[in-house]
């Protein structure tokens, strides 16, 4: 539990130090019964007397807030990553854009998984990532192992993006397990078998369909009449059922439990389906009819050959959008007040430190002209920048190298082939 979280400053030898301190009231249980003693974790960012940052500690960063240029459309990832494009596994991918400038336009990617072992006992070992771009096919990432899998974990960076792999374990997917044809109000919970020795039970990664029949025309593994048959729809094979006859009436009836059986080093018991009285409050049970289908869906780790595909579209600047967004161009701060606390200091005993205003939400390419209210040109600024940089700074120095006086000023932004924007700002000393 965190008991203190603060930032302190100190000045030593002409530098300002920032101390980010966090103290905890409990130790690390992996370090023994007492854990680690409560301590302060100090991160240092030092600043010179001029106000320039000259040291950044580990796990610290300097961030300057900014907005992209007018008309900017961010890069996009196209494709469904909630389920595999082809294969067996039930997990998902997420693609995070980390460096928008590096995202390629109209590039296609395939994430292909590899595993060790065979169904039902196998493990996902790694994936490779293949890119098709400009008619050239490359393997961008080669053995990204399973230590990078999991929610919140990013794989290696490539082309400005990174992949998060959400790999499933074997279990019942309760949201997808349901009637797919017909209906019954019986309570039919699905779980892993637990009524036999552990060496007889195995979680099997497959989906199943129980198709009900018009009569008790089938026999279970333990010779009890049943009115259904079970198909492993993942493999396409029909399997046997074992009936836990709790009555015992000698045939499938309410209160019994249906156990699925697969062959793996002999007969193995896997999932069970309860066959219990209705749970919707109705007085009469609605039994399944001939042709009704109850589907059991399981979650499955990725296996050899499972793959996802997606495409990327790079960032763009749409001229029509630039025209519509020209009205958002503005000056910050406005009004500008002398001696703003965020400005760098001066080491001189006379004068003052840096002065600056920023024009924001600008097009990528434009010219800014600053005038007095009388119409005299004070300064001309030119911008030709990255699509991510929608700002331009002015140090409040005129075209002839003089600090400008306080007062009201007019600015004119001209974007070739797009349009103009006229605005005003004030300087207060």
pLDDT digits (tens, 9 = 90+) for 365-405: 999 999 999 999 999 999 988 888 889 999 899 998 888 99
Selection from 376, 387, 374, 383 nearest residue 421 by Cα: 383
pLDDT of residue 40: 60
Q: How far apart, in whole angstroms, are the C-alpha atoms of residue 226 and residue 232?
A: 17
pLDDT digits (tens, 9 = 90+) for 27-66: 555 555 555 555 565 677 777 766 678 788 877 777 777 7
pLDDT score of 244 more than 70: yes
Q: How many CB atoms are closer than 10 A to CB 107?
A: 18
Q: Which of 245-254, 255-264, 271-280, 315-324 has the highest mean pLDDT?
A: 255-264
Strands in 198-282 per DSSP E = 208-212, 218-219, 225-226, 228-232, 237-244, 256-263, 267-278
Using only C-alpha atoms, the chain has a radius of gyration, in whole angstroms, of 34
Which residues pair with residue 197 across a beta bridge? none
pLDDT of residue 389: 85
Q: Which of 27-41, 107-121, 306-320, 358-372 has the lowest mean pLDDT?
A: 27-41
Are 217 and 227 contacting, i.e. CB atoms less than 8 angstroms apart?
yes
pLDDT band at residue 354 under the 50/70/90 scheme: low
pLDDT of residue 2: 42
pLDDT score of 128 more than 60: yes
Query: Residue 288, class by beta-carbon neighbours within 10 Å (0-12 exposed, 13-18 middle, 19+ buried)?
Result: buried
Q: What is the mean pLDDT of residues 311-333?
A: 87
pLDDT of residue 7: 41
Kindly list the distances between the CA atom of residue 296 and the CA atoms of 25, 124, 154, 207, in Å, as whole numbers in the listed order: 48, 23, 32, 6
Average pLDDT, the chain: 85
Kindly compute the dihedral angle of the four CA atoms of residues 382, 384, 385, 386, in this order, to the nearest 10 degrees.
160
pLDDT of residue 44: 76
Q: How many CB atoms are closer than 10 A to CB 293?
A: 15
pLDDT score of 70 more than 70: yes
pLDDT score of 18 more than 80: no
pLDDT score of 349 more than 50: no
Higher pLDDT, 296 or 5: 296
DSSP code, position 251: S
pLDDT score of 192 more than 90: yes
pLDDT of residue 111: 96
pLDDT band at residue 324 under the 50/70/90 scheme: confident
Q: How many CB atoms are closer than 10 A to CB 97?
A: 17
pLDDT band at residue 347 under the 50/70/90 scheme: low
Q: How many CB atoms are closer than 10 A to CB 380?
A: 11
pLDDT band at residue 356 under the 50/70/90 scheme: confident
pLDDT of residue 221: 96
pLDDT band at residue 341 under the 50/70/90 scheme: low
Q: What is the mean pLDDT of residues 215-227?
A: 95
Q: How many CB atoms are closer than 10 A to CB 153?
A: 13
pLDDT of residue 37: 55
């Amino acid at each position: 539990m965190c008991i203190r979280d603060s930032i302190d400053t100190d000045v030593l030898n002409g530098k300002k130090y920032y101390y980010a301190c966090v103290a905890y009231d409990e130790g690390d249980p992996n370090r023994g019964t007492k854990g680690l003693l409560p301590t302060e974790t100090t991160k240092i960012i030092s600043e010179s007397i001029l106000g320039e940052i000259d040291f950044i500690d580990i796990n610290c960063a300097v961030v300057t807030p900014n907005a992209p240029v007018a008309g900017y459309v961010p890069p996009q990832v196209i494709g469904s990553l909630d389920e595999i494009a082809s294969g067996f596994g039930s997990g998902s991918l997420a693609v995070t854009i980390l460096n928008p400038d590096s995202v390629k336009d109209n590039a296609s990617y395939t994430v292909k998984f590899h595993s060790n072992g065979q169904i039902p006992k196998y493990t996902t070992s790694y994936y490779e990532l293949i890119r098709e771009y400009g008619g050239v096919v490359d393997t961008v990432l080669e053995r990204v192992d399973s230590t990078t899998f999991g929610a919140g974990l990013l794989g290696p960076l490539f082309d400005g993006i990174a992949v998060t792999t959400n790999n499933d374990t074997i279990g019942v997917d309760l949201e997808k397990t349901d009637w797919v044809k017909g209906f019954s109000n019986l309570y039919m919970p699905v779980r892993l078998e637990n009524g036999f020795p552990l060496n007889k039970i195995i979680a099997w990664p497959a989906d199943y369909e129980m198709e009900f029949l018009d009569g008790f025309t089938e026999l279970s593994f333990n010779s009890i009449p049943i009115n259904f048959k079970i198909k492993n729809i993942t493999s396409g094979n029909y399997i046997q059922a074992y009936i836990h006859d709790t009555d015992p009436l000698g045939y499938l009836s309410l209160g019994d439990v249906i156990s699925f059986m697969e062959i793996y080093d002999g007969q193995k018991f896997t999932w069970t389906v309860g066959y219990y009285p209705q749970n919707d409050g109705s007085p009469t049970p609605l039994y399944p009819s001939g042709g009704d289908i109850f589907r059991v869906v399981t979650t499955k780790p990725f296996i050899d050959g499972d793959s996802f595909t997606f495409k990327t579209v790079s960032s763009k600047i749409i001229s029509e959008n630039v025209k519509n967004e020209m009205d958002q161009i503005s000056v910050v701060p406005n009004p500008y007040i002398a001696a703003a606390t965020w400005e760098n200091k001066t080491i001189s005993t006379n004068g003052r430190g840096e002065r600056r205003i920023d024009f924001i939400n600008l097009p990528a390419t434009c010219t800014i002209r600053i005038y007095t209210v009388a119409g005299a040109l004070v300064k001309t600024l030119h911008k030709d920048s990255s699509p991510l940089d929608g700002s331009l700074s002015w140090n409040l120095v005129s075209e002839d190298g003089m600090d400008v006086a306080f007062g009201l000023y007019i600015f004119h932004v001209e974007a070739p082939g797009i349009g103009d924007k006229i605005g005003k700002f004030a300087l207060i000393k």
